[in-house]
Structure 1
Amino acid sequence: MSTLRRMSPRRSYDQYCSAARALDTVGDRWTLLIVRELLAGPRRYTDLHADLPGVSTDVLASRLKDMERDGLTTRRRLPPPGVAYVYELSRRGRGLLPVLEALGVWGAGELGERRPTDAVRAHWFALPLLRALREAGAGEGLVEVRLEEGEFHLHAGTDERRGPVYGDGPAPAEPDARLVLDAGTCAALSRGELDLGEAVRDGRVEVTGDGTVAKTLQAG
């Protein structure tokens, strides 16, 4: 049996408790981080592996099969001329967004200073920035974000259960706002040491654009 088709046996805590049942499904190492990546929409296996530094090919393949079996993801082949398969979250998988957001809030105090061994991807700041935009009352719209580490875009204020929450790279259309900031400011926003309105007023976040989101942030 090939690596991609290998599925690990289902393990269970055998406890009649909803938290234990949830951990039966998402408690394995890497599973929730795969969900984090797939909140950006369909991803190829190679893309997932590139943005999950430290995961082995065997473990990633196994987790993806487990997640498909458990109804968190689906796998489909791209239409011609594409030949690759992509993985995407099911509606049940997208329902883990508030879980990841809550974990991010709970773990924000653990960020501290970035260690020399820490990998970073610009889009890993997407979920904290979405929360910061909500807390700032920025409303709904497409937001492009630029850091030294790269660019990504957010679908702020939309129904996160229906589609991608964020995407890697520039916005696919004219955004309602463009934000330019650094990873240190993103980390401070994540830790709750700084709110987005304050960061804009202090010049730590540069906001441009003509949409409602930009105007709201500029007026705050």
Structure 2
Amino acid sequence: MSGMRSYGDPCGVARGLDVIGERWALLVVRDLLLGPKRFNDLLAGLPAVSPNVLSQRLRELTEDGVVRRRDLGPPTRVRLYELTEWGRALEPLLLQLGRWGSQAPPPLEGTLGTDSLLLSIKAAFDPARAAELRGVYEFRIDADTYLAEVADDSVQIRRDTASGQPDATLSTDLDTLRAVCDHQITLAAAVKSGALRLNGDPSARRRLTDLLLAPFEPAPQR
């Protein structure tokens, strides 16, 4: 453990919290679940964190073996942060925490980022629907592209592009995507306005939108 504070408890829960219990640590892990990011990308996804605190968390998580740095050589000369295999093992915990936390009252301020929206798909995915939702889908959101693959009984989502032709593609900006998911506008209205585009055959487009909107369907009234 790189930090100065420890619970001093040999229990696995306490030892885990010694590593990821500091403020912002789990949110850094959350924002790396879909793939590597640059420092500035992490900073943009965590607007309430200061650069100094983010640097400190990345340093601690790197020293503890949860995150690793990867430097891309010329001509890009970019430093990326990505999860180690041990860090990726936190995904089921984070998805379950997201399911649990979604039952708490939402904050008065703040909006979901792209990664959080797409991770909601993974958290809400029903394996029983895998056969009907099977396919390869691209989400082009602002300047980023994400690939969602539904196969067997799971959905895998990562920052990437399809190696071949995806079954369907959704292109939009984050504000429009949030508005659709928050039911401020309908998907049909967003398509009609040109703010959102769907490509692919009708069946594949329907599967893509079902996959996207499933976590955001209104809960049934009791």
Q: In the superposition, relative to structure 1, how do residues 58 and 107 fare at CA in structure 2: closer, same or farther (>3 Å)?
A: same
**Partner of residue 153, structure 1:** 146
Q: Deviations over 1:168-189 (max 9, x none)?
A: 8x8676333335884366458x
Partner of 1:73: 67
Q: Deviations over 1:34-78 (max 9, x none)?
A: 111112222111111111101111111110011111111111211
Listed as ranges, the gaps of 5+ residues in structure 1 are: 1-6, 189-198
Residue 144 of structure 1 pairs with residue 139 of structure 2: yes
Secondary structure in 1 aligned to 2:96?
helix
- With over 3 angstroms needed to count, the CA separation of the structure-2 counterparts of 1:154 and 1:34, relative to structure 1, is same
Q: What CA deviation, in whole Å up to 9, does each residue of 1:173-220 have, x standing for no partner?
A: 6333335884366458xxxxxxxxxx99xx799875349965756899
CA contact (8 A) 2:68 2:82 kept: yes
d(CA) in 2 for partners of 1:96, 1:121: 20
TM-score normalised by L of structure 1 = 0.69
Cα distance in 1 for partners of 2:164, 2:138 equals 10
TM-score (norm 2): 0.68
The amino acid that maps onto 1:91 is E
Q: What are the equivalent positions in structure 2 for 1:21-170 lying under 5 Å apart?
A: 21-110=15-104, 112=106, 115=108, 117-135=109-127, 136-137=129-130, 138-139=133-134, 141-144=136-139, 153-157=146-150, 165-167=157-159
Change (3 A) 1:173 1:57: farther
Higher relative contact order (CA 8 A, sep 6+): 1
Deviations 1:76-95 (A, max 9, x none): 21110122311111111111
Q: Is the CA contact 2:69–2:80 (under 8 Å) kept in the aligned structure 1?
A: yes
Stretches of structure 2 that go unaligned for 5 or more consecutive residues are: 192-197, 212-222
What residue is the counterpart of 1:13 in the other structure? 7
Contact 2:2 2:60 in 1 (8 A): yes
Paired residues of 1:130 and 1:156 also in contact (CA < 8 A)? no
Determine what percentage of the aligned residue pairs are the same residue: 34
Q: How many residues align?
A: 193
Is 50-59 or 10-19 further displaced after alignment? 10-19
2:166 corresponds to 1:175: yes
How large is the RMSD of aligned CA atoms in angstroms?
Answer: 3.8
State the secondary structure of the residue aligned to 2:103: helix
